[in-house]
Amino acid sequence: MGLTVRQAIAQAGLAPIDAQALLAHVLGVERAWLAAHATDALPMESTQRYFALARRRRDGEPVAYLLGSREFWGLSFQVDPSVLIPRPETETLVECALQRLPGDRPVRVLDLGTGSGAIALALAHERPDADIVATDRSPDALALARANAARMKLANVHWLQSDWYRQLDDRDGRFDLIASNPPYVAADDPHLREGDVRFEPQSALTAGVDGLDALRVIVGGACERLVAGGSLVVEHGYDQAEAVRELMRAAGFTALESRRDLAGIPRVAAGTLGSEL
């Protein structure tokens, strides 16, 4: 007789939440089903698939890549190793962007370095009147983002392969808001050798010696792409809040603010071009 659900979870060698997520994925059920069927015997094929995934997780692979999906802003995003895994702290950026967007008219938004499309599609879901342009230099990332948009039936995002602003032209015009969760980790940061980030694309994580190279490009080019009174909203590292605010201040942004994520860490910087909010 094969292992029961409870036995398989206990023998996986994983944190219970990871073990349950992987087994629910293999069986095609919700996690609540596992508790209700704890003494059910598992088919041998399912048991083998489960322990193969558990072994990969013990070796450090992120659960999101093993499952092929991650929830963000209440939406389910397909993810793979071509993109960063959407994280809860980035929802702080989405909240800030929504609060800064004018609510009384259609708006235009630019999402730089879109990855899986998490920010662009969260905004598109909340603001169906928004015209959103989302860029990424990775064709694999854009293909995944397009697939996420199609699955969510969100058609108000236009996808462009671009290295930040480089492939935008005059026809793309100006935007009410620019949002970005760019690479912001210093190239020699020891955290890059720990946990899930070991398996994520390094080009989406690191940005020069101090981690600010991408943010310098984004902040420096934002004024030419924003309408007067438009906003720039960016995510940054735990110790970069003042440096990013100074970049914004030097570029002419006002109404500067920092937002803390759910862990209380300064995570998002925002500013307004040309006038106070």
Residues 125-184 have pLDDT tens digits of 999 999 999 999 999 999 999 999 999 999 999 999 999 999 998 888 999 999 999 999
Residues 1-26 have pLDDT tens digits of 589 999 999 999 999 999 999 999 99
Residues 23-39 have pLDDT tens digits of 999 999 999 999 999 99
Assign 3-class secondary structure to the chain: CCCEHHHHHHHCCCCHHHHHHHHHHHHCCCHHHHHHCCCCECCHHHHHHHHHHHHHHHCCCCHHHHHCEEEECCEEEECCCCCCCCCHHHHHHHHHHHHHCCCCCCCEEEEECCCCCHHHHHHHHHCCCCEEEEEECCHHHHHHHHHHHHHHCCCCEEEEECCCCCCCCHHHCCEEEEEECCCCECCCCHHHHCHHHHHCCHHHCECCCCCCHHHHHHHHHHHHHEEEEEEEEEECCCCCHHHHHHHHHHHCEEEEEEEECCCCCEEEEEEEECCCC
Is the pTM higher than 0.85? The answer reads: yes
Residues 78-100 have pLDDT tens digits of 999 999 999 999 999 999 999 99
